[in-house]
């Protein structure tokens, strides 16, 4: 008997020493109190009671993230610039300058007409090429037809009626760089200079992964523009035109939101499509835990940009005990990095205490019964 009493006293003293009962987060009152009491905080937290449709934050229209890139008129597809490789053929009649040149390939030889193919010529970093007898000339920014005219005028007087034909051997000027989550990353030559973002992705072999996880990042000069591929599908106006010199990266950047507190499932949830409502997020989390949660204490934590484009923390409170809140939750659109919190019910503390006492005394009752059996034997 003395042994049993000692164990009782030990367990009761341990229970009395507990500062608080186990919990997975604050209650509604604790959250609201901590928001109101923010002395000296540089970034005060705003609290919004979502009770009417006016309290629901406006849905962001799918649009360009970052500076909008300029779209100049389509440029000619045969513009010449640094890095391009030109194949130049010169046709001469009568007195010729290039016939019989050892380093040059003879394309055609007919009575009175000679045609010579010059070795491939690369436009240097300053935009110049060198042509025998014509000298060094700046061809950057000219079309192939313009360069033909330039060479023909330079040879006139030294060759009898020279004609020039130029084709592009390797195109650098009229191309873009495509990388990231595409099937064929690398340099892509624009054929019409009217290709749009979706065209370029298709020409690069299509995207890899899921559209809701992909972000198209376009670099144009000093401008960086982000477009989510899912938004591109839903909003065709975002399908901007690609111009020579652009760099396009397709990045795998899935969006997600976190669920904490007394919910049916604490986890990080990905966006399975471009738009997820708060009602759908509540359902994905399994709703409020019936043993620990408070349906009147559902909070959403989010950073919101103010009129000065500065981010400020805002907490939205929803009372799911009111029928109208369920309709508002269907209009409340989740954002990337949102935190959805289910508050603990203050009234469930006695139940927790009872369960804790039961867990603590069950081993004692087992030992006591075993001692009683041994004494009877």
* Domain annotation for the chain: domains and CATH numbers: 2-22+350-376 (no CATH), 65-73+195-252 (no CATH), 85-170 (3.30.1950.10)
Q: What is the pLDDT of residue 19?
A: 44
For residue 3, the model assigns a pLDDT of 45
pLDDT tens per residue across span 306-347: 888 788 999 999 999 999 999 999 999 999 999 999 998 876
pLDDT at site 274: 80
| Higher per-residue pLDDT: 377 or 119 | 119
Residue 108 clears pLDDT 60, i.e. is over it: no
pLDDT confidence of 39, banded at 50, 70, 90?
A: low
Whether the predicted pLDDT of 300 surpasses 80 = yes
pTM of the prediction? Answer: 0.71
Q: What is the pLDDT of residue 43?
A: 64
Question: According to the model, what pLDDT value does residue 8 have?
Answer: 43
In three-state secondary structure terms, 10 is helix
Whether residue 96 is predicted with pLDDT greater than 50 in this model: the reply is yes
Query: Is the predicted pLDDT of residue 188 greater than 90, yes or no?
Result: yes
Q: Is 73 exposed, middle or buried, given 0-12, 13-18 or 19+ CB atoms closer than 10 A?
A: exposed
**pLDDT for residue 120 is more than 60:** yes
Given the structure tokens 């040149």, which residue do they identify?
101
Burial 195-205 (b: 16+ CB within 10 A, else e): bebbbbbebbe
**In the predicted structure, residue 348 carries a pLDDT above the cut 60:** no
CA distances from 276 to 89, 177, 268 (A): 61, 33, 14
The rounded percent of the chain whose pLDDT value lies above 90 is 50
Residue 356 pLDDT exceeds 50: no
Over residues 264-280, the mean pLDDT reads: 90
The predicted structure's pLDDT at residue 102: 44
Q: How far apart are CA 102 and CA 108, in angstroms?
A: 15
Rounded to an integer, what distance in angstroms lies between the CA atom of residue 119 and that of residue 108? 15
């Amino acid at each position: 008997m003395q042994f049993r009493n000692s164990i009782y006293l030990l367990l009761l003293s341990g229970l009395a020493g507990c500062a608080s009962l186990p919990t997975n987060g604050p209650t509604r009152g604790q959250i609201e109190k901590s928001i109101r009491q923010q002395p000296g905080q540089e970034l005060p937290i705003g609290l919004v009671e979502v009770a009417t449709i006016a309290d629901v934050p406006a849905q962001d229209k799918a649009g360009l993230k970052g500076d909008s890139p300029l779209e100049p008129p389509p440029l000619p597809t045969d513009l010449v610039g640094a890095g391009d490789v030109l194949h130049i053929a010169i046709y001469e009649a009568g007195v010729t300058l290039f016939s019989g040149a050892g380093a040059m390939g003879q394309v055609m030889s007919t009575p009175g007409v000679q045609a010579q193919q010059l070795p491939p010529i690369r436009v240097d970093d300053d935009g110049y090429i060198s042509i025998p007898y014509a000298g060094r000339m700046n061809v950057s920014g000219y079309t192939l037809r313009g360069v033909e005219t330039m060479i023909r005028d330079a040879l006139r007087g030294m060759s009898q009626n020279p004609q020039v034909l130029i084709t592009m051997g390797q195109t650098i000027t009229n191309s873009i760089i495509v990388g990231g989550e595409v099937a064929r990353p690398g340099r892509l030559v624009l054929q019409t200079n009217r290709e749009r973002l979706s065209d370029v992705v298709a020409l690069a072999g299509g995207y890899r992964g899921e559209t809701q996880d992909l972000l198209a990042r376009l670099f144009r000069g000093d401008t960086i523009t982000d477009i989510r591929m899912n938004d591109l599908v839903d909003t065709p106006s975002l399908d901007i035109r690609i111009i020579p010199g652009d760099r396009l990266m397709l990045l795998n950047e899935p969006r997600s939101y976190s669920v904490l507190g007394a919910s049916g499932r604490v986890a990080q949830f990905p966006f399975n499509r471009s738009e997820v409502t708060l009602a759908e997020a509540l359902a994905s989390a399994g709703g409020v835990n019936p043993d620990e949660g408070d349906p009147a204490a559902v909070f959403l934590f989010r950073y919101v940009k103010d009129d000065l484009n500065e981010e400020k923390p805002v907490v939205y409170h929803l009372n799911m005990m009111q029928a109208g809140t369920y309709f508002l939750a269907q209009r409340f659109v989740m954002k990337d990095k949102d935190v959805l919190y289910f508050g603990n019910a203050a009234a469930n503390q006695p139940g927790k205490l009872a369960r804790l006492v039961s867990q603590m005394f069950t081993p004692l009752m087992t030992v006591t019964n075993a001692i009683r059996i041994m004494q009877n034997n």
